[in-house]
Amino acid sequence: MFIQYILILIILKQIFTCPIPFNIQSKCRCAITETGRVYIYCARKQLTDIPHFNNSKSEKKRDIKFIRFVLIGNIIFDELVLSGNRISIVHKNAFNGLKLRKLELQSNPINIIDNNAFIDLANYLEEFVLSTTLRTSKLTSNTFIQILFELPNLKRLSLRLFDLSNLSNISNNNSLILRKLTQLSLQSCSITQIDNVEIFSNLFPNLERLDLSENRLEYVNIPLISSLKKLKVLILSKNKIRHLNIRSSLSPATLNPSNSLIELDLSYNG
């Protein structure tokens, strides 16, 4: 009975705190799954801009403190789905006032991401899926580093169709270390090589799954694999790999064989 009571309160909370603007309520909807996950769904609705969600509701007085606590505003949503729209620009503070654990922003013609576009999600966002439909976009390694700076609590990050051809030129910054990131996917990002192995491993010291499929890699960088001590899965399919590179760019003290790797995908290479 108590569990049913809690579920009713969760549903009421979802109803009272749904932050969808009035002008797009016919395109977006708030919902709750059977497991209690609360999400906002705005996929494939021809949206040209990210809606200005308003997740700050004034607290209403309740006789029972527990009900008042549950119905208060500023709910943390489990997921916001904005995939398959026509969004081309992510403006500064685009998610102001919204608390999210997962953001899906794939399959949009995104060409510009302003500085501090995701800064309001810094404390809560754990998973981010982002891709553009443009083959020649302005989403470069600088945008990649910007995302890492603005979302330091990410656990899973998936980017597709960025231009990361100069990924090896990323500079070392001791203030940027994503210790919580365990899964990173950089598909179809025009990556030709990752030579700054130590910088890459310092950025993601706890990485367990790395997907670099559909890029332009020509060799397997053994020092990179060795430097990622917790790496379990490495996906290098659909590249141009023809040989292994065993020349170490790491110091002998840093280069230790990884004991954690259990899967290496080299399918569809040369």
SS (H, E, C) the chain: CHHHHHHHHHHHHHHHHCCCCHHHCCCCEEEECCCCCEEEECCCCCCCCCCCCCCCCCCCCCCCHHHHHHHCCCCEECEEECCCCCCCEECCCCCCCCEECEEEEEEECCCEECCCCCHHHCCCCCEEEEEECCCCCCCEHHHHHHHHHHCCCCCEEEEECCECCCHHHCCCCCCCCCCCCCEEEEECCCCCCCCCHHHHHHHCCCCCEEECCCCCCCEEEHHHHHHCCCCCEEECCCCCCCEEECCCCCCCCCCCCCCCCCEEECCCCC
Examine the pLDDT at 25 and tell me if it is beyond 60: yes
Domain assignment present for residue 22? The answer is: yes
For residue 140, list its beta bridge partners.
163
For all residues of the chain together, what is the average pLDDT? Answer: 83
Domain assignment present for residue 157? The answer is: yes
Domain assignment present for residue 8? The answer is: yes
pLDDT above 70 covers a percentage of the chain that reads 79
Domain assignment present for residue 41? The answer is: yes
pLDDT value at residue 167: 81
CATH number of the domain encompassing residue 48: 3.80.10
pLDDT value at residue 70: 39
- The mean pLDDT value for 68-84 works out to 73
Domain assignment present for residue 201? The answer is: no
Domain assignment present for residue 100? The answer is: yes
pLDDT one-digit tens code per residue, 191-222: 998 878 888 888 999 999 999 999 999 988 88
> Which of 111-115, 132-136, 193-197, 236-240 has the least mean pLDDT?
193-197
Residue 131 CA, chain-centre distance (Å), reads: 10
> Which of 29-33, 98-102, 167-171, 256-260 has the least mean pLDDT?
256-260
Domain assignment present for residue 246? The answer is: no
Taking residue 243's Cβ as centre, other Cβ atoms within 10 Å add up to 9
Domain assignment present for residue 171? The answer is: no
- The mean pLDDT value for 119-148 works out to 94
| CB 185 within 8 Å of CB 157 | yes
Confidence of residue 235 (pLDDT cuts 50, 70, 90): very high
> Which of 67-71, 116-120, 124-128 has the least mean pLDDT?
67-71
pLDDT one-digit tens code per residue, 159-193: 999 999 988 767 666 678 999 999 999 999 999 98
Whole-angstrom distance, CA of residue 76 vs CA of residue 98: 8
| CB 200 within 8 Å of CB 176 | no
Task: Quote the domain boundaries for residue 134.
Answer: 2-163
Examine the pLDDT at 140 and tell me if it is beyond 50: yes
Of the two residues 67 and 29, the one the predictor is more confident about is 29
Into how many domains does the chain fold? 1
